[in-house]
Structure 1
Amino acid sequence: MSSEGFIFPSPQWAEAFCKALNENPEYREAAKDWVWDVVFVATNVPSTVVNAVAQLMGLSGVTSNAGAMKFKLRNGTCQGSEFYIDASKADADYILETDYSLWKDLIQGKVDPVGAILSRKIRVKKGSFLTLVQFSSAAIKMTNTAMKVPTKFLA
């Protein structure tokens, strides 16, 4: 982590978020019945971010502008995270997708996650929309947790 935080999105940010979820008793309670893996896909990721993350990962020639973070969520805990610099390689029970700029706004507390899902600004690419709505409290707690992760936005 740099002195300013973890680059979003990156493997390091995903690990820090997973750890922060496990340290949040409010999330644990709200998500105690959630038993599905979730992938968050960021589309239209600026090239400055892609290049920085590729460099962190020791990769070159990355042409994707969509990254993904997979979280293994079980009964209010995060049992691990995975990062994909090419979002097309990520799969899970639930896949939620939106632009990098909206993820940034969510993490900065400028956007309500439930409203973003209901208005389809966050697209449910895979999984039950109804189940997501039933777990809206957990979504809010997740967003509150993300806001506490030291985050560095490069764009």
Structure 2
Amino acid sequence: MSSEGFIFPSPQWAEAFCKALNENPEYREAAKDWVWDVVFVATNVPSTVVNAIAQLMSLSGITSNAGAMKFKLRNGTCQGSEFYIDASKADADYILEADYSLWKDLIQGKVDPVGAILSRKIRVKKGSFLTLVQFSSAAIKMTNTAMKVPTKFLA
């Protein structure tokens, strides 16, 4: 982690977020019945961010402008995270997709997660929309947790 925080999105940010979820009793309670893996896909990731992630992961020749983070969520805990520079390789019970700028606004507390899902700014690419709405309290606690992760936005 740099002095400013973890680059978003990155494997390090995903790991820190997973750890923060496990340390949040409010999230644990709100998500106690959640038993599905979730992938968050960021599209239209600026090239400065893609290049920094590629350097961080010792990769070259990255042409994708999307990235994905998978979280293994069970009964109010995060049992692990994975990062994909190629978002098409990520799969889970739920896949939620949004522009990088929307995820950034969400983490900075400028956007309501439930409103973003209901307005389709966060697109449900896979999974039950109705179940997501039923777990709206967990989504809010998850967003509150993300806001506490030391985050560095490069764009």
Displacement of 1:108 = 0.1
- Structure 2 Cα separation of the partners of residues 50 and 87 of structure 1: 12
- Structure 2 Cα separation of the partners of residues 50 and 88 of structure 1: 16
Aligned partner of residue 40 in structure 2, secondary structure: strand
Count of residues paired in the alignment: 155
Displacement of 1:68 = 0.1
Scaled by the length of structure 2, what TM-score is found?
A: 1.00
- Structure 1 Cα separation of the partners of residues 119 and 146 of structure 2: 21
Aligned partner of residue 39 in structure 1, secondary structure: strand
Unaligned stretches of 5+ residues in structure 1: none
Scaled by the length of structure 1, what TM-score is found?
A: 1.00
Deviations 1:77-136 (A, max 9, x none): 000000000100000000000000000000000000000000000000000000000000
Displacement of 1:32 = 0.1
Aligned to 2:108: 108
- Structure 2 Cα separation of the partners of residues 49 and 88 of structure 1: 18
Aligned to 1:147: 147
- Structure 1 Cα separation of the partners of residues 121 and 64 of structure 2: 21
Aligned partner of residue 102 in structure 2, secondary structure: helix
Aligned partner of residue 132 in structure 1, secondary structure: helix
Deviations 1:53-90 (A, max 9, x none): 00000000000000000000000000000000010000
After superposing on structure 2, the runs of 4+ consecutive aligned residues of structure 1 that deviate more than 4 Å are none
Aligned partner of residue 58 in structure 1, secondary structure: coil
Displacement of 1:148 = 0.1
